[in-house]
């Protein structure tokens, strides 16, 4: 038989997608839903909810800080870095470690052959 396959395939039986807990704010909830929807169904388990919540909270903190920096500038009147700059830097430093520890953010790099040893992450402080 030449051409298309005579049947369709679907993701079935891989589990339902996680739903955000009611404690999340509106913006955090939107990021949570977008993150879970961007990954295959069944990737996350119920035990991942806390990690996902902390991640989306961190995303919103970085967004808020970036907006304030854009509005007020990176330095205050005295010439010192503004509080929002410090908040943004602190939150941005946590991101790479968080991604490595949780491994739930899809990578946008080309696939590489598996490493002979697993990559070790530095412990979070």
In which band, very low, low, confident or very high, does the pLDDT at 30 lie, cut at 50, 70 and 90? very high
Q: What is the pLDDT of residues 44-102, one digit of tens each?
A: 888 888 888 888 898 899 999 999 999 988 888 888 888 898 888 888 888 766 666 66
Number of Cβ atoms within 10 Å of the Cβ of 109: 5
pTM (2 d.p.): 0.64
Instruction: Please choose, from the candidates 44, 84, 37, 86, the residue with its C-alpha nearest in 3D space to the C-alpha of residue 64.
Output: 84
Q: Which residues contact 65 (CB under 8 A, 6 or more apart)?
A: 84, 85, 87, 88, 91
Instruction: Please choose, from the candidates 20, 18, 38, 17, the residue with its C-alpha nearest in 3D space to the C-alpha of residue 29.
Output: 20
What DSSP character marks residue 114?
P
């Amino acid at each position: 038989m030449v051409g298309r396959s005579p049947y369709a395939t679907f993701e079935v039986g891989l589990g339902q997608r996680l739903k955000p807990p009611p404690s999340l704010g509106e913006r955090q909830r939107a990021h949570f839903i977008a993150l879970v929807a961007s990954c295959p169904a069944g990737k996350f388990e119920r035990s991942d909810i806390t990690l996902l919540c902390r991640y989306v909270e961190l995303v919103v903190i970085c967004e808020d800080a970036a907006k304030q920096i854009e509005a007020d500038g990176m330095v205050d009147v005295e010439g010192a870095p503004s509080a929002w700059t410090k908040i943004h830097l602190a939150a941005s430093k946590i991101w790479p470690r968080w991604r490595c520890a949780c491994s739930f953010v899809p990578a946008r790099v080309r696939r590489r052959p598996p490493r002979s040893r697993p990559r070790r992450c530095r412990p979070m402080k």
